[in-house]
Amino acid sequence: MRIGILGGSFDPIHQGHLTLARESMKQFKLDKVLFIPASVPPHKKNDAFVTPAPSRARMTELAIVEEPRWEVCDFELRRPGVSYTVDTLRELRKIYPPPHELFFIAGADSLQDLAKWKDPEEILKLSEWIVAPRDSVPFPPSLPGGIHRLNIPLVEISATELRDKIRRAEDVSHWIPERVARYIQERNVYSGSKK
C-alpha cells in the first residue's frame, strides 16, 4: 500500500491542503492519505494563538468526509508535548511496515528547512517525500533519491490570511469547504482578538 502523510496545524484546513492531497494521490498513485493535525507544532510551540487541537481535528474531519480514501490520524493529538514528524513516522512504520510505502507530503519550504528538524536523516529513511513548489522557495535543480516533485500550480494562501479574513467577515468560501466554514461560524472559532 502507498500511503500519503499530510501533517500540519490545519488552522483552518483549506483548499491548498486538499489540493496537495488530491494531486499527490493522482500523480503518485497513493492508496490513501492520512491527515495528521499537530497537537503542538514545533514551529508554533511558543504561539499562544494556535486554535485548540480538538477544533482543528474536527475541521479536518469535516473537510475530508466525502473522500473515502482520506483519513484523520490522531497520533499527534494523543501524544503529549511537541509533535515531531520523526516520532509520527516511527509510529506509522509499526502499523505499516515494509513493503508498505510512506510518502510525506510537504511544501518546498519544509524541504528547505529539513536540516533543522528533529532527526532529519531518519525522517528520510522512514519515508519518501512528495514536495510541492512554493513561490518564495526555489526548487533545487535536481532532487536526491526518495524526494519527488509534485507538479502542481502554486497555491499561495496562508491559514493566517484566512483567519484574518474570517475575523473581518470576508467571504472565504473559495478557500474553505462549506462544512468547515459552517463549523467555524457556528462555533465562533476565530472570533476575538487572536492573531
Does some domain include residue 193? Answer: no
Residue 2, pLDDT > 90, answer yes
Residue 9, domain CATH: 3.40.50.620
What confidence score (pLDDT) does residue 26 get? 98
Does some domain include residue 188? Answer: no
Residue 82, pLDDT > 90, answer no
The DSSP H or E segment spanning 17 is: helix 15-28
Q: What is the mean pLDDT of residues 41-48?
A: 58
- Which of these ranges, 68-77, 95-104, 113-122, 128-137, has the smallest mean pLDDT? 128-137
Does some domain include residue 138? Answer: yes
Does some domain include residue 80? Answer: yes
Residue 44, pLDDT > 70, answer no
Does some domain include residue 81? Answer: yes
What confidence score (pLDDT) does residue 123 get? 96
Residue 187, pLDDT > 90, answer yes
Q: What is the mean pLDDT of residues 82-105?
A: 95
What confidence score (pLDDT) does residue 47 get? 55
Helices (H), 96-193: 108-113, 120-126, 159-167, 178-187
Does some domain include residue 111? Answer: yes
Cβ atoms of 26 and 55 within 8 Å: the answer is no
The DSSP H or E segment spanning 22 is: helix 15-28
Q: What is the mean pLDDT of residues 2-30?
A: 96
pLDDT digits (tens, 9 = 90+) for 145-156: 899 999 998 767
* Rounded distance between C-alpha atoms, residue 17 and residue 1, angstroms: 22
What confidence score (pLDDT) does residue 167 get? 93
Does some domain include residue 20? Answer: yes
Domain hosting residue 71, numbered range: 2-155
Rounded (10°) angle between helices 53-64 and 15-28: 50
According to DSSP, the residues that pair with 8 across neighbouring strands are: 37
What confidence score (pLDDT) does residue 80 get? 84
Residue 169, pLDDT > 80, answer yes
Q: What is the mean pLDDT of residues 59-81?
A: 94
Per-residue confidence band for 96, with pLDDT thresholds at 50, 70 and 90: very high
- How many domains, in total, are found in the chain? 1
Does some domain include residue 172? Answer: no
Taking all residues of the chain, what is their mean pLDDT, rounded to a whole number? Answer: 90
% of the chain beyond a pLDDT of 90 = 73
Residue 179, pLDDT > 80, answer yes
Per-residue confidence band for 194, with pLDDT thresholds at 50, 70 and 90: very low
Cα 195 → chain centroid: 20
